[in-house]
Amino acid sequence: MFVIITYDVNVKRVNKVCKKLKEYLTWTQNSVFEGEITKTQFMKCKSELEKIIDPDVDSLYYYVVENPKHLKKTFVGAEKGDMDIFF
Amino acid sequence: MFVIITYDVNVKRVNKVCKKLKEYLTWTQNSVFEGEITKTQFMKCKSELEKIIDPDVDSLYYYVVENPKHLKKTFVGAEKGDMDIFF
């Protein structure tokens, strides 16, 4: 399945969230990760993320498309460099 | 169709991009708008956005799901307030 995860996380936790997401998905832009993932991996990723965030302050949005062919992705403009510059 | 638009735009242009997106979609989080939209409206939104951004610096990602039932959206944590606080 194809997953897009967007997040709005306090600066104290954002590095941890990014590092965790990078284990499973691809960073595309500020606070956006995406990619193909199995259901089991997705559940694991979710539970690990939800141990990191403070649900009273932070937020995580999960967009899941079971069959990647049902999603069309395009982009315009400058491709962002890789995330390594943040770590 | 259901559309998610994420953007990474220079601070000089971000307000204009947000105002334009708000005409068509719902703000959910930093640099993320989403919602149901017709193909015609989406094409209009896209062309107007692409007149605002500087493609050498800014980026826009469009995720399109023709049939909204193919997309499952969930979220965890704090729901962000409405965007009006930014304008």
Fold of A2-69: Alpha-Beta Plaits (3.30.70)
Question: Which regions of chain B are under pLDDT 70?
Answer: 80-87
Average pLDDT in the A43-64 region?
96
User: Choosing among B2, B5, B8, which should be mutated to test the A contact, i.e. which has the most A CBs within 10 A?
Assistant: B8
Is B59 in the A-facing interface, judged by CB distances under 8 Å? yes
Handedness of CA B11, B16, B17, B21 (dihedral sign): positive
Q: Which residues contact A86 (CB under 8 A, 6 or more apart)?
A: A15, A18
With CB atoms and an 8 Å threshold, state whether A78 touches B58.
Answer: yes
Average pLDDT in the A11-26 region?
96
Question: Among residues of chain A, what percentage have pLDDT more than 90?
Answer: 84
At residue B81, the pLDDT reads 60
* CA A66 remoteness from chain centre: 16
* Statement: residue A12 has pLDDT above 60: yes
The complex's ipTM works out to: 0.87
With CB atoms and an 8 Å threshold, state whether B59 touches A71.
Answer: no
Could you tell me the pLDDT band of residue A78, with boundaries at 50, 70 and 90? confident
* Statement: residue A43 has pLDDT above 60: yes
Q: Where are the domains of chain A?
A: 2-69
Of A30, A53, A54, the CB nearest to B30: A30
Fold of B2-67: Alpha-Beta Plaits (3.30.70)
Residues of B in Cβ contact (< 8 Å) with A77: 53-60
At residue A51, the pLDDT reads 97
Q: To the nearest whole angstrom, how far is the Cα of A8 from the nearest Cα of chain B?
A: 6
At residue B87, the pLDDT reads 43
Residue A32 corresponds to which tokens in the numbers above?
A: 């956006």
* Statement: residue A22 has pLDDT above 60: yes
pLDDT tens digits, B48-65:
999 999 999 999 999 999
Instruction: Find the residue in B nearest to A79 (Cα).
Output: B59
Other Cβ atoms within 10 Å of A58 Cβ, number: 21
Q: Residue B8's closest CA among B74, B61, B78?
A: B61
Average pLDDT in the A22-44 region?
95
pLDDT higher at A47 or B84? A47
At residue A18, the pLDDT reads 96
